[in-house]
Structure 1
Amino acid sequence: MTDMRMRALVDRRAMALRDLEETSLQVSQGEIDADTADELLGRFRRDVARVEREIEELDEDLDEVQPPDTASKSGRSSKRALAGVLGLVVLLAAAGVVMMTELDDRAPGGFVTNADEDIPPAGRDLADVTMEEMEEVVAANPQITDMRLALADRYFMAGDDRSALDHYMVVLEQRDEPEAMTRVASILAGQGEVELAEELANLALREDPDSVEARYVLASVQIALGQASVAVETLAPLLARTDLSPADARTVDEIAEQAEQAAG
């Protein structure tokens, strides 16, 4: 019964966020007058806030009834680990240790995901929405994480790591998003913070064991850490798959070759 209620709440939240996102886009494109926009946006924001409160209350109820040795303990542990890693990233950025570079400055094949692929839209077709419009929408509505994630992906693919990192970090403050974890890991690895990158890539893979990108980013980091034989094992499930996209297959083969050469 509780699981059904949680699924219903998650569906309600997704619908409310979609309504908020679509209305915000219409406002930014001048399709809705100011008075109507204020009324609609206010209603959708209240809907999102209401559902978020209900989800939080249900989470607290679940924590109270769950025995300490269940999966919820593992989930809380992962959240604490993620919070710790992100806290270190913030400190390093503030101290100037993590400096963002442009795509051309990254080492060839070094921690760059498939930048030649089109970015899939998140939640709806965003192909005709400019980055400036997306910035305006997420600034006015911080809870629209799908659009923020799509915007971060655009910056990442364009090589603007600084802007990408800013948005990925906001996404991760709001939800445990494995794609964002993987991309931040890739950025950190490119800056030489390979230990942090390894921890974040592992967390991403724990959240989504089927993630192709998280697995090959982790393998790349392991090679950088001198763990080539471990990287070969990490890549084994991907090398056995026949359903990878051509770009993913190329990337996996390249990393596997690097790992085998480094392992001797």
Structure 2
Amino acid sequence: MNATRAKERLRERRKQVTTDLDELGDQVEDGQVEPSTAERLRGVYAQELAEIDDALAGLVEAPVHKTENPLAAERVRGFSFRGLLGASLLLAGLTAVIVWAGSGSGSETDAIGADTAFSNATSEAGVISIDTMTTEELESILANFPDSATALLALADRYLSEGDRLGALDHYLTVSLGNSSSQDRSRALAGVGYLSYVTGQYEAASETLLQSLALNKDNTEAMLYLGNVLLSGFDDAAAAIPYFERVIADPLTPPHIVDAASEKLVDALDKQG
């Protein structure tokens, strides 16, 4: 992700955090948020704003340049990701806030309506599957349907596959803290949990993935990621094995997830002895 695009995403996130912070007082008065929860949120929002400001400053000081070293590229391209992830995980350790988040402005009906409009638009455009759309096409159509969880998740998955972790995180957070269906929010939380896991934030990952499964107990992707966290992050093969077994046993699990869980199950059984 280039510096200009990164700046835009960080500034958009900063604007949203500032708005959320400003709205806390009204939400307390309306009884949507408990005063104690509001105080914790203010602290988290303040920390996130500081992290975003640091990231923006880092962008000015360290412009992106080409490099043959992928690790060096990660240091330039991912300058803010670890810090921003740690700050923006309202979900990790604040599970009560996640439950509340679905009762903010708008409703699940509004979110479903946005998804329906998005689906109708893609059908009219002759799109058979959003998987066939380019990243630019997804970004363009999301601009017209910014509340569509389907579009947000598709673009988040695409960004993740392209190595744009910050872009993926932004969209996963948008869905997980919005008014989409429990299934969509579970998917988004699984994405955030995975990003926590691959950056070594195992406590945050486990809490987020457990919240994902609380929203949808059949989310085999979340089960796989949680098993990975337990096995590789906490070195607890015994706790990881049941998750891998559940993934494999579910007839609806996508083949690539079954394959990944099968490999991890072998590793876990070997480690357990």
TM-score, normalising length from structure 1? 0.52
Q: Corresponding residue for 1:148?
A: 152
Give 1:147's aligned amino acid: A
What is the rounded CA distance, in whole Å, between the counterparts of 2:49 and 2:268 in structure 1? 31
Q: Does 1:160 align with 2:164?
A: yes
| SS class of match (1:226) | coil
8 Å CA contact 2:81–2:165 kept in 1: the answer is no
The offset of 1:142, in angstroms, is 2.6
8 Å CA contact 2:190–2:225 kept in 1: the answer is yes
Give 2:135's aligned amino acid: M
Encode CA deviations 1:165-198: one digit per residue, 9 max, x unaligned: 1111122221351111111111111101010000
User: Which sits farther off after the overlay, 141-150 or 130-139?
Assistant: 130-139
Q: Does 1:195 align with 2:200?
A: no
Q: Corresponding residue for 1:57?
A: none
Q: Corresponding residue for 1:246?
A: 255
Aligned partner (choices 197, 204, 219) of residue 212 of structure 2? 204
8 Å CA contact 2:224–2:257 kept in 1: the answer is no
| SS class of match (2:82) | coil
* Alpha-carbon distance change, 206 to 90 in structure 1, aligned in 2, over 3 angstroms: farther
**Cα root mean square deviation, aligned:** 3.4
Spell out the pairing of 1:59-208 with structure 2 (5 A cutoff): 90=48, 94=52, 96=80, 98=82, 123=119, 125-139=129-143, 141-175=145-179, 177-208=185-216
Bigger radius of gyration, 1 or 2? 1
Q: Which has the higher contact order (CA 8 A, sep 6+)?
A: 1
8 Å CA contact 1:99–1:191 kept in 2: the answer is no
Q: Corresponding residue for 2:235?
A: 226
Q: Which runs of 5+ in 1 are unaligned?
A: 1-59, 64-75, 101-121
User: How many residues are matched?
Assistant: 164
User: Which sits farther off after the overlay, 131-140 or 244-253?
Assistant: 131-140
* Alpha-carbon distance change, 126 to 246 in structure 1, aligned in 2, over 3 angstroms: closer
TM-score, normalising length from structure 2? 0.51
What is the rounded CA distance, in whole Å, between the counterparts of 1:252 and 1:161 in structure 2? 23
Q: Which runs of 5+ in 2 are unaligned?
A: 1-29, 55-79, 85-117, 123-128
* Alpha-carbon distance change, 195 to 91 in structure 1, aligned in 2, over 3 angstroms: farther
Q: Corresponding residue for 1:33?
A: none
8 Å CA contact 2:142–2:148 kept in 1: the answer is yes
The offset of 1:235, in angstroms, is 2.4
Give 1:146's aligned amino acid: T
